[in-house]
Structure formats: C-alpha cells, structure tokens
Amino acid sequence: MDYGLITNILIVFAVALMVGMVFNRIRVPPLVAFILTGAIVGPYGFSIIQSQDQVASLAELGIILLLFTIGLEFSFRDLWKIRTVAFIGGALQLALSFVFFCSLAFFMGLSMNQAILMGFLFSLSSTAIVLKILHERGEMDSPHGSIALGILIFQDLMAIPMIMAIPFLASIPQFSPTPLLSYEALVSLIIYDLVIVLILVALAKWVIPRVMHEIARTRNQELFLLVVILTCFGVAWMVTFTGISLAIGALLAGLIISGSEYSHQAASIVLPFRDIFTSFFFISVGMLVDVRFLAAHFWFVLFLIAIAIFAKAMLATAAPLALGYPLRTAVMTGLALAQVGEFSFIIAQSGFDSGILPSEIYQMFLIVALLTMAATPFVIALRQPVT
C-alpha cells in the first residue's frame, strides 16, 4: 500500500485547514487558501510534499469533476432568460478585455502568441468566487447579480475554444504562413470530429436518458452513482480521440446529462467529490508559485495587479453600460468581475506545458492572478463609497 500518498493528503489537508481558518476570518475565498497551501508545502516553500506527481494526478481528477458539474448545472433555459446579457454583454466584455490585455502584453515585449494567450487569461473572471460572494450577500437575483451571472456563463463557454486554441498557438509561434495541417489531414480530422459529434448527439438524445431512467427505477443510489461516473469518464475518454482534453470531454458529458430530468440528482452526488478533488488542483497551482520570485519583483507585481483590477473593473463596467443599464448597476458589476478566473489557471498551465509561456512569465501570471482573486472581497466592498 502506498502510504506516501496518504501522508501527502494528510499534510495537504492539515495545512489547508489551518490556512483556511485564518483566511475565513478575513473573508478571503478558500480557493486562495488552497493556492497558498500549495505554495507552503511545495518546492518553493518548505518542500514538505515529496511526490508532486501524486498531487498533480488528484488535481487532474479535480478539474475533470469541476467541469463535469459545471456542465450538469448548466441550463440552456436559464441562459435563454438572460440571453441579451450573456451573449451581447458577455461578448462585449470579453472582446474589450481581450483587446486591452493582448495589446498591453504585446507592447510590453511579449511575442504575438504569448500576447494572445495573456488576452485569454485576463479576459476571464472567477465564476466560483463571484457567485459565492453574491450568494452570501443575497444578491444573486439583483440586477448586477444577473448581469454578472450572464457574463460569467458566457466566459465559461468561451474558455472551451480558448483551451482548444492552445495547440494552434504553440505550433505557430510567430504566425508563419505555413499551414497547420495538410488537406488530407484536415479532411480526416473534420470527419473524425463529425463522427464523435453524432455519437454524442445520439448518447444525449436516446441512450443516456433511457439508461438513467432504467437505473433510477431501481432506486439504487450506488448504481446511479456508477452510471453518472461512467458517463463522465466515458465521454471524456471518447472525445480525447479528437485531440480534446479529458476536462473538456467531462464538460460535454455534463452537458449531455444536464438535458435529462436526473441532472440535479447527478449533481448532488458528484458535488462533494468535486469540492475535494478541485482543492487539489488549486493546491497544485500553488506549488508552482515561487515566493522568492514575488519578493524579487514585488513592485512590478503590485503594478500589474493594480492595472489588472482597474482595467477589468472598467471594461466590465462598460458592457452593461452599453446595454443601457444604470451607472450604479454597471459599476457594481464591474467591481464584481475585477479578478482573474479559475479557468485562466487551466489555460495558463496548458500554455506553459506547450511551451508558449516561459517560466518567468508563468510565475508572474500565477502571482498576479492569485492576488487579484484574494482581493475580490475587498474590491467588491469598494462599491459602497463608489456608488
């Protein structure tokens, strides 16, 4: 038996508990506590965790379950109710943020593909943090809460093509005119993707609803859990043959089940597992944070954080203003969305693994993103004197 894994889990949870209790007192999201936990136990901290590969494996499982439950909880009916805010407001906010941060990164000396990646990373906000804070304040049904929700849903949807674009950005570092694929390879890829799409449609329309109905009739919780997990990992595994990651496959699996009458039951079963394993993802991100790097570049990091928060707040304010919402509502929305999102960490890690981001820029992003997230409760509190 691998006692090393159990030891690592115990250490991680013990440190996360202590850090989380401290952060809870100052009302900083637990997500940030997990990242700080990783920084403490990781190689740049006290090097307590010896086998980071084990934590990374648990982290990958966490991301799969996170995206699966997001798919489960996603409702096309709810999205249709806020379609104007979600599609027009979300697209406007995303476009403005992308253009600003991509241009800023390019003028700061980054290559074009690195600048595009930075535009992706800083155009997204944190669904987990924002919705949690709005829920705690009882503001989910408020005008700014509905606008923020619509924009966040749109961002989460757009994170999918962003992640899928990483291999293309990595393969054309300077956007050379050389085609990515030959004509035969492109046709083969399209046919392959169409076959997978047809299989997914068939699963969503006929197979999975029927199977879940039959399993639900048995009133056996264990069998229902098995069919949910089988669907999650089965669909995720299947779409990897098209080059899509397991995580995006899990999101598609969640969307397939979300259309059935058993989506809420499936979400309630998976949710506890998701929360546990997702914590490992943010802990694994924290293990990559070099505190010495922060100390060496403290003032520059502070400058970037100020720019990120101010620019994201202003650009997110512009979207509801363009839709005709009052200034107060727009400002409250902008302040709520003035942080980097959890999907940005996934995209950044893909960019780092594919060689787009060098270690120094990746470190800079991790630290800036972490601190914008930690600052969210305090930034939202600014709306009282501002509005």
pLDDT of residue 174: 52
Q: How would you class 222 by CB atoms within 10 Å of its CB: exposed for 0-12, middle for 13-18, buried for 19 or more?
A: exposed
Cβ contact 247:292 at 8 Å: no
Distance (Å, rounded) from C-alpha 283 to C-alpha 62?
11
pLDDT at residue 123, rounded to an integer: 95
- Residue-wise DSSP of 61-128: HHHHHHHHHHHHH--HHHHHHTHIIIIIIHHHHHHHHHHHHHHHHHHTT--HHHHHHHHHHHH---HH
- Rounded Cα gap, residues 337 and 351, in angstroms: 23
**What six digits make up the tokens of 19?**
């850090």
Q: What is the mean pLDDT of each run of 10 residues along the chain (387 residues)?
A: 73 87 81 82 79 69 76 68 82 95 94 94 88 76 84 84 82 51 60 74 80 85 87 84 72 78 80 75 79 89 94 94 91 93 86 89 91 85 65
**In 3D, which of 168, 144, 148 has the Cα closest to residue 156?**
148
Residue type, 366: L
What pLDDT, on a 0 to 100 scale, did the predictor assign at position 79?
Answer: 65
Indicate the pTM of the whole model.
0.77
pLDDT of residue 179: 47
Say if CB 250 and CB 270 are below 8 A apart: no
pLDDT for residue 177:
45
| pLDDT value, residue 176 | 42
Q: Do the beta carbons of residue 163 and residue 346 sit within 8 Å?
A: yes
Burial class, 377, CB count within 10 angstroms (exposed 0-12 / middle 13-18 / buried 19+): middle
CA 212: distance to chain centroid? 28
Cα 144 from Cα 135, distance rounded (Å): 12
